Amino acid sequence: MTTLWLDLGNTRLKYWLTDDVGQVISHDAKQHLQAPAELLIGLTDRFERLAPDFIGISSVLGEQINTLVAQTLSHLSIPFEFVHVDPAHPLMRSHYDANQLGVDRWLQMLGVVDRKKRQCVVGCGTAVTIDLIDHAEHLGGYIFPSIYLQRESLFSGTKQITISNGEFDSIAPGMTTQDAVHRGILLSIIGAINEISQRHGNFELILTGGDAAIIAQHIARPVCIRDDLLLDGLARFFKSHLNQ
């Protein structure tokens, strides 16, 4: 049995094909340029050739887009289902408003949650999210603009700073405006993570997402980087959900 896992994020469409033991046998990621339904139409032939037995979907794109996605996938005659946030899930309970908890953020936590541990999960994607979990109970968290969103906001809101594609490679004081901008933005994220880590020193610190490696090298304590944590959350959700 093979399963296709589909993640419709704010900027990218990602998919993984796994076998019956969870091994990834095919994967890809593409920018959808705010037109994920159209991109998906172009991928349906590929999905048909992959011939999965089931498609599990995570989407943060809202009901209207999800309806178009469902219409497209229905032509494949392959069973599919969207993830929904369940604050009373057997693996992790949360007091967060389920209508406001992003499914991608929730799946990142679900992918790593452990009843024996206290955990701090940092998602380093389009937004930076920090969530605290105490023995499988979600305590809430924080949301920040990513380093790139912060840079875009600064450039669009000021006349004296011109847009630049500099590197987020240091938190040492910058000697040019370009360096000062990039290092100041990175420091704001690092400082927040370090502050939360200091307040919750007995929580395991876990980073995931595209910018995890950039951020992790500046954190003042040991960090565990987990790639494709959302994929793990998808698999854990449907394993539990379909067995109910």
Q: pLDDT digit string (tens) for 97-154?
A: 888 999 999 999 999 999 999 999 999 988 999 999 999 999 999 999 999 999 988 8
60 and 160: one domain? Answer: no
- E-strand spans in 77-201? 80-82, 88-89, 92-94, 118-124, 127-134, 137-145
Gap between the Cα atoms of 115 and 48, Å rounded: 38
- Same domain assignment for residues 66 and 109: no
| Residues 182-237 pLDDT 10s | 999 999 999 999 999 999 999 999 999 999 999 999 998 999 999 889 999 999 99
Query: According to the model, what pLDDT value does residue 177 have?
Result: 85
Looking at the structure, do residues 40 and 157 belong to the same domain, yes or no?
A: no
Same-domain check for residues 102 and 197: yes
Q: Based on the fold, state whether residues 98 and 147 are members of the same structural domain.
A: yes
Please confirm, yes or no, whether 104 is among the known catalytic residues. Answer: yes
Is the domain of 228 the same as that of 127? yes
> Pick from 35, 55, 82: which residue ends a domain?
82
Residue 238: inside a domain, yes or no?
A: no
Q: Which of 82, 112, 142 is the last residue of a domain?
A: 82
Residue 242 has pLDDT above 70, yes or no: no
Same domain, 64 and 166: no
Q: Looking at the domain assignment, is residue 215 inside a domain?
A: yes
Whether residue 199 is contained in a domain is answered as: yes
Nearest to 147 by CA among 104, 209, 221, 204: 209
Q: Same domain, yes or no, for 49 and 109?
A: no
Per-residue pLDDT, 29: 87
Which of 28-42, 86-100, 113-127 holds the top average pLDDT?
A: 113-127
50 in the same domain as 20 = yes
pLDDT band at 165 (very low <50, low <70, confident <90, very high): confident
- What is the DSSP secondary structure assignment for residue 100, as one 8-state letter? T
Q: What confidence score (pLDDT) does residue 166 get?
A: 79
Asked if 38 and 65 count as a contact pair (C-beta separation under 8 A), the reply is no
Paired tokens of 52: 């999965």
DSSP characters over 24-64: EEEEEEEE-TT-HHHHHHHHHHHHHHH--SEEEEEE-SHHH
Counted domains in the chain: 2
Cα 121 to Cα 92: distance, rounded to the nearest angstrom: 13
Of 36, 56, 82, the residue that ends a domain is 82
**What pairing do the DSSP bridges indicate for beta strands 127-134 and 137-145?**
antiparallel
Could you tell me if 26 and 135 lie in one domain? no
CATH number of the domain where residue 72 is located: 3.30.420.40
Per-residue pLDDT band at 162 (split at 50, 70, 90): low
> If you search the block for the tokens 């698999």, which residue do you land on?
235
Q: Are residues 55 and 121 in the same domain?
A: no
Lookup: tokens for 51: 């011939």
What pLDDT is stored for residue 42 in this prediction?
85
- 168: containing domain: 91-232
Question: What kind and span of H or E run contains 212?
Answer: helix 212-216
Residue 14: helix, strand or coil by DSSP? strand
d(CA 7, CA 27): 11
Clarify whether residues 99 and 154 are in a common domain.
yes
Is pLDDT larger for residue 37 or for residue 218?
Answer: 218
pLDDT top residue among 142 and 31: 142
* 242 within a domain of the structure (yes/no): no
pLDDT of residue 10: 83
* Residue pair 208/124 in contact by the 8 Å Cβ criterion: yes
| 243 belongs to a structural domain | no
Q: What angle do CA 71, 60, 216 make, to 5 degrees?
A: 140
Instruction: Let me know if residue 182 belongs to a domain.
Output: yes
- Side-chain half-sphere exposure of 174, counting CA atoms within 13 A: 18
Residues 52, 4: contact at Cβ < 8 Å? yes
Whether 239 maps to a domain, the answer reads no
Predicted pLDDT of residue 241 = 61
Angle at 108 between CA 106 and CA 109, to 5 degrees: 65
Which of the following is catalytic: 7, 104, 131, 211? Answer: 104
